[in-house]
Amino acid sequence: MLGAAGIGVALTLTADSYRPVVGALAVAAVVLLALGIAWPLPSLLPWPLVVLGGVYAWTLGAGAVDEWAPVYAGAFLAVAELAYWSVELRGRAQDAERLTERRIALITILALVGVGAAGLVFAATSLPIGSGIGTDTLGVVAAVAALVIVAQLARPAR
């Protein structure tokens, strides 16, 4: 909840012309997240993050690329993991006591890896690699390779 509220506050403070609307949407997203956690509804949990992500994209507008994007990526990832974890813990408090520190460490590492990966993508977008058919072909091959890797990782083990 605090992470989502922090994202909402940051978005509201950085909004230029639509600050009241951005603030209202951020509050609505945090309230929606609170409802999803209070009544354990895992299907409701992604929607506050979608609202906050949409507000973030809206605050960017047609401006330059935001240098804080990797931090937002890590924050969104951490909020999602913590929200699902809080719903998962319902009714299993005795099992959770042994794994709390481990799970917190894993979520922290995951968020930091998310920030690092987003930072690498951010840095890669600023590289001057030229243009032309060769670059376009390389981009298509890389996209297909990424999809193949994701599909292989998503396949159930035999």
Whether residue 15 lies inside any domain: the answer is: yes
Whether residue 156 lies inside any domain: the answer is: no
Who has greater pLDDT, 139 or 9?
A: 9
pLDDT digits (tens, 9 = 90+) for 45-69: 999 999 999 999 988 876 777 888 8
What pLDDT shows up at residue 95? Answer: 58
Quote the percentage of the chain above a pLDDT of 70.
Answer: 93
The band of 96, judged by pLDDT with boundaries at 50, 70 and 90, is: low
pLDDT digits (tens, 9 = 90+) for 34-46: 999 998 888 999 9
Q: What mean pLDDT is reported for the chain?
A: 87
Whether residue 53 lies inside any domain: the answer is: yes
Which has the closest alpha carbon to 41: 5, 77, 88, 82?
A: 88
Whether residue 68 lies inside any domain: the answer is: yes
Query: What secondary structure does DSSP assign to 34-99, as a single string?
Result: HHHHHTT-GGGTHHHHHHHHHHHHHHHTTSPPPTTHHHHHHHHHHHHHHHHHHHHTTT-HHHHHHH
Q: Are 26 and 12 in contact (CB under 8 A)?
A: yes
Whether residue 65 lies inside any domain: the answer is: yes
Please count the structural domains in the chain: 1
33: its two tokens: 């997240």
Whether residue 11 lies inside any domain: the answer is: yes
pLDDT digits (tens, 9 = 90+) for 2-32: 999 999 999 999 888 889 999 999 999 999 9
Domain that holds residue 65: 2-129
Whether residue 62 lies inside any domain: the answer is: yes
Whether residue 36 lies inside any domain: the answer is: yes
pTM, 2 dp: 0.75
